[in-house]
Amino acid sequence: MFTVRSCRRAECNFKIAMKIGIDARPLSHGQAGITRYLRCLIEAMAKLDQTHEYFLYSNRDFDTAFEDAQWHKRVSLNFRNIPGTVWLQLTAPEAARKDKLEIFWGTEHFLPWGLPRSVRRVLTIHDVVWRTLPETMAAYNRLVHRLLVDPSLERADLILVPSLSTQKDLMRYFPWMQAPVRVIYEGVAPHYQPCDRVAAAYHIAQKFKTSREYILSVGTLEPRKNLLTLIEAFYILRRKSLLDVQLVIAGAKGWGKGDVRRRTLELGLSDREVRFVGFVPEEDMPALYAGALVFVYPSLYEGFGLPLLEALACGAPVACSNRSSLPEIGTDAVLYFDPESPEEMAGALLRILSDSFLKGTLVRRGLERARRFSWESCARSVLATFDEVARTLSSSRAEINSDRTSHMALFI
CATH superfamily of 2-187+374-406: Glycogen Phosphorylase B; (3.40.50.2000)
Domains of the chain: which residue ranges? 2-187+374-406, 197-370
Q: What is the pTM of this model?
A: 0.89
Instruction: Name residues of the chain where pLDDT drops below 50.
Output: 1-14, 397-412
What confidence score (pLDDT) does residue 392 get?
A: 74
The burial of 375, by beta-carbon neighbours within 10 Å (0-12 exposed, 13-18 middle, 19 or more buried), is given as buried
In degrees, to the nearest 5, what angle opens at C-alpha 317 toward C-alphas 329 and 203? 115
Q: Which long-range contacts (CB under 8 A, 24 or more apart) does 64-67 make?
A: 64/1, 64/2, 64/3, 64/4, 64/27, 65/1, 65/2, 65/3, 65/4, 66/3, 66/4, 67/3, 67/4, 67/5, 67/6
Q: Give the C-alpha separation, 374 to 188, whole Å.
A: 5
CATH superfamily of 197-370: Glycogen Phosphorylase B; (3.40.50.2000)
What confidence score (pLDDT) does residue 288 get?
A: 98
Q: Is-same-fold flag (2-187+374-406; 197-370)?
A: yes
Give 208-248 pLDDT, tens digit per residue. Answer: 999 999 999 999 888 999 999 999 999 999 888 767 899 99
Judge contact between 64 and 2, C-beta under 8 A.
yes
Q: Give the C-alpha separation, 64 to 62, whole Å.
A: 6
